[in-house]
Amino acid sequence: MKKYFASILLIVTFAIFVVFQQKSADNNNGAPSLASTDITPSSDSVNSNTSFPQSKPNSSSTSSTPNNSTNSSSTTPQTNTGRYKNGTFTGTSADAYYGNVQVQATVKNGKITDVQFLDHPQDRSRSMMINNQSMPMLRSEAIQAQSANVDAVSGATMTSEAFIQSLQSALDQAAN
C-alpha cells in the first residue's frame, strides 16, 4: 500500500513540475532561461585565454551552405603573410532559431582583424540581451583564434553555432 501512495505522489509531483516548466517557458517566449546574475565580461576576461565550456559543433554544423550570402569584395592587394587573402568577406546567413546570423570578416596581412555582425536576432528583448552579451565574446575569440574554431557561449548556443557557420563560410572565401 505504501508503494502505491509513493507512486501516486511521484506522479503528481512530476505533473506539477511539468506544468511549472511550461508556464516558465511561456513567460520567456520559449527562450532558454539565463541566471539572473550579471555575466557581462570585464575587458581583461574577454582578452585572456578564457574559454566557455560548451561542446564544439561537429563538422556538419560548421559546413557552409549558401543561404542568403553576398559574395565577398576584396580590397587592394597587399603582401600576404598569413593564411587568408586580404579583403572583406561576407559569410552566409545562418539560422539561429530566433533569427539569422550573418557576419563579415576583415582580413589584413593574412590575419583576421575584425568580425562584424551584419544580421542577428533582435526582434525579442530576450534575444537582444543574450546577443549583446555574446556577440563581443564571439568576435574576440574569433580574432584571437584566427579561425571560426571558437567555443559556444553558454546561454547563447544557437547564436554561437550560427556565428561559427557564417564565419566559417566567410573564411572559406578568404582561404589561400
Per residue of the chain (176 residues), what is the pLDDT tens digit? 888 878 888 888 888 877 777 766 555 545 444 443 343 343 333 433 333 333 334 433 333 344 444 444 444 444 556 789 999 999 999 999 999 999 999 999 999 999 999 999 989 999 999 999 999 999 999 999 999 999 999 999 999 999 999 999 999 999 86
| Pair (83, 13) in one structural domain | no
For residue 140, the model assigns a pLDDT of: 96
For residue 161, the model assigns a pLDDT of: 96
| Pair (65, 136) in one structural domain | yes
Inside any domain, residue 86:
yes
| Pair (1, 68) in one structural domain | no
| Pair (20, 96) in one structural domain | no
Domain enclosing residue 91, as ranges: 57-174
| Pair (71, 3) in one structural domain | no
Inside any domain, residue 45:
no
Q: Where are the beta strands (DSSP E) in the chain?
A: 87-90, 94-95, 100-108, 111-119
For residue 9, the model assigns a pLDDT of: 84
Q: Which CATH number characterizes residue 163's domain?
A: 3.90.1010.20
